[in-house]
Amino acid sequence: MRFVVRSLLQLVLVLFAVTFVAFGALNYLGDPLFNILGPIALEESGPEYAEVRAEARAQFHLDDPFPIRYGRWVGDMLTGDFGRSYSNQVTVRSILADKLPVTVVLMVYAQVIAIAVSVPWALWTASRAYRFGDKASTVVSFTMLGIPVFALTVLLFWLFAIRWQLFPTRYEDETIGQRLTSLFLPAVALATPLIATYQRLLRTDLISTLQEDFISVARAKGLPKWYILFRHALRPSLFSLLTVFGIQVASLIGGSLVVERQFQIPGIGFEVVEAIFRDDFPVVLAVVVVVSVAFVAVNVLVDLIYTFLDPRVDFNG
């Protein structure tokens, strides 16, 4: 019970802090009126449009003081109303419903790839720590960490989509198969730094777990090497990996802004970049909320998994 209360409290605090900062910052970034009305929003377009401008300002409450606008936005948000996009008057909710699933699939995809590659790789390197295969792996993983995502995206796209034509050059989503094929290269681009991070962390933790007495006990029982690695060493070694897994949700969202644009994927990352450029505050704010909720939710989940990984972790501690 204490755990639930604490998680909810955490969610409320994070949401408040993040939206407050975002709302305040956007407020000083530009005037959304141009976006709503087009060229007539400018004073130079003549006094005959002054009335239209005043009307629009009133309709979108652009002249109200900051605390009132923020309060109104929070109130609407709590009822699930994120307002309408300034540019085309579409409800933000329908934009989210339309774009969010693609991005969620992309992120889950990237995390699945990252875990599927990094865990076996870390087990392999830890079992031969400081030998050639391990040292070579260190070089490879640091290279993976060092490549910027935008450069990797270009490289992957050119090699696999254009040169070898193994993957489509444009996003297709009529079938699940098409969707997964289209998202494969972007997911790999997002997963690459994660694979390296997870591999480094898990390898280090595995090496120290393998020094533990209970590993000697398991070896003295005559259990095979693979069994000891998977059934004794892996689970107690997953803590750092899990912690970072939760935190990486934020950087994945950052990465999706780049990757979705470069691969022309109609996801929320693509959408939010557009929205920022056209001062479409309701869209940007809604995405900020979604990201914060996702971040807190994943980290609450991570806390829950801790208790599964180690029975000594107190659920309500």
Partner 1 sequence: MSEGTPLLELENLSITFATPGGPVYAVSDVSLSVERGKALGIVGESGSGKSVTMKAVMDLLPSTAAIGGRATFDGIDVLTMPSSRRKHFYGVDVAMVFQNPMTSLNPVKRIDAQMTEGMRYHRDLSKNDAKKRAIELLELVRLPDAAGRLRQYPHELSGGMRQRVVIAMALANDPALLIADEPTTALDVTVQRDILNLLDNLRTDLNMALILISHDLGVVRDRTDDVVVMYGGRVMESAQTEDLFADTRHPYARALQLSIPDISKPRGQRLDPIPGSPPDLSSPLTGCPFAPRCTFAQDDCHSTLPVATPVGDGSHTFSCLHPLGQEATV
Phi, psi (deg, nearest 5) at residue 202: -70, -40
Count of Cβ atoms closer than 10 Å to residue 98 Cβ: 14
Q: Does 226 bind partner 1 (CB under 8 A)?
A: no
User: For residue 233, what are the contacts with CB-CB under 8 A and spacing of at least 6?
Assistant: 126, 206, 209, 210, 215
Q: Which of 39, 80, 177, 222 binds partner 1 (CB under 8 A)?
A: 222
Asked whether 302 and 238 are in contact (CB, 8 A), the reply is no
The residues in 236-265 that bind partner 1, with binding defined as CB under 8 A, are 236
- For the bound state, the minimum distance from the C-beta of residue 119 to partner 1, rounded and expressed in Å, comes to 17
Give the residue with the Cβ less far from partner 1, 72 or 135: 135
Distances 163 to 98, 168, 187, 263 between C-alpha atoms, Å: 32, 11, 19, 16
Give the residue with the Cβ less far from partner 1, 91 or 204: 204
Instruction: Map residues 290-309 to x or -, x wherever contact with partner 1 holds by CB under 8 A.
Output: -------------------x
The residues in 27-86 that bind partner 1, with binding defined as CB under 8 A, are none
Asked whether 294 and 249 are in contact (CB, 8 A), the reply is yes
Q: Does 208 bind partner 1 (CB under 8 A)?
A: no
Q: Does 213 bind partner 1 (CB under 8 A)?
A: yes
Give the residue with the Cβ less far from partner 1, 203 or 232: 232
What is the C-alpha separation between 101 and 103, in angstroms, rounded? 5
Q: Which of 178, 231, 274, 315 binds partner 1 (CB under 8 A)?
A: 231
- For the bound state, the minimum distance from the C-beta of residue 225 to partner 1, rounded and expressed in Å, comes to 12
- Where is 149: in which H helix or E strand? helix 149-156
Of 11, 8, 83, 3, which is closest to residue 291 (Cα–Cα)? 11
- For the bound state, the minimum distance from the C-beta of residue 137 to partner 1, rounded and expressed in Å, comes to 18
Q: Which of 226, 235, 277, 316 binds partner 1 (CB under 8 A)?
A: 235
Q: Does 174 bind partner 1 (CB under 8 A)?
A: no
What is the C-alpha separation between 235 and 233, in angstroms, rounded? 6
- For the bound state, the minimum distance from the C-beta of residue 234 to partner 1, rounded and expressed in Å, comes to 10
User: For residue 151, what are the contacts with CB-CB under 8 A and spacing of at least 6?
Assistant: none
Q: Does 135 bind partner 1 (CB under 8 A)?
A: no
Of 137, 173, 166, 199, which is closest to residue 266 (Cα–Cα)? 173
Residue matched to tokens 């130079």: 44
Q: Does 224 bind partner 1 (CB under 8 A)?
A: yes
Q: Which of 207, 232, 255, 265 binds partner 1 (CB under 8 A)?
A: 232
User: For residue 197, what are the contacts with CB-CB under 8 A and spacing of at least 6?
Assistant: 118, 145, 244, 248
User: Which tokens is 295 given?
Assistant: 């971040």
Q: Which of 42, 62, 74, 223 binds partner 1 (CB under 8 A)?
A: 223
- By the criterion CB under 8 A, which residues form the site for partner 1? 212-214, 216-224, 227, 231-232, 235-236, 309-312
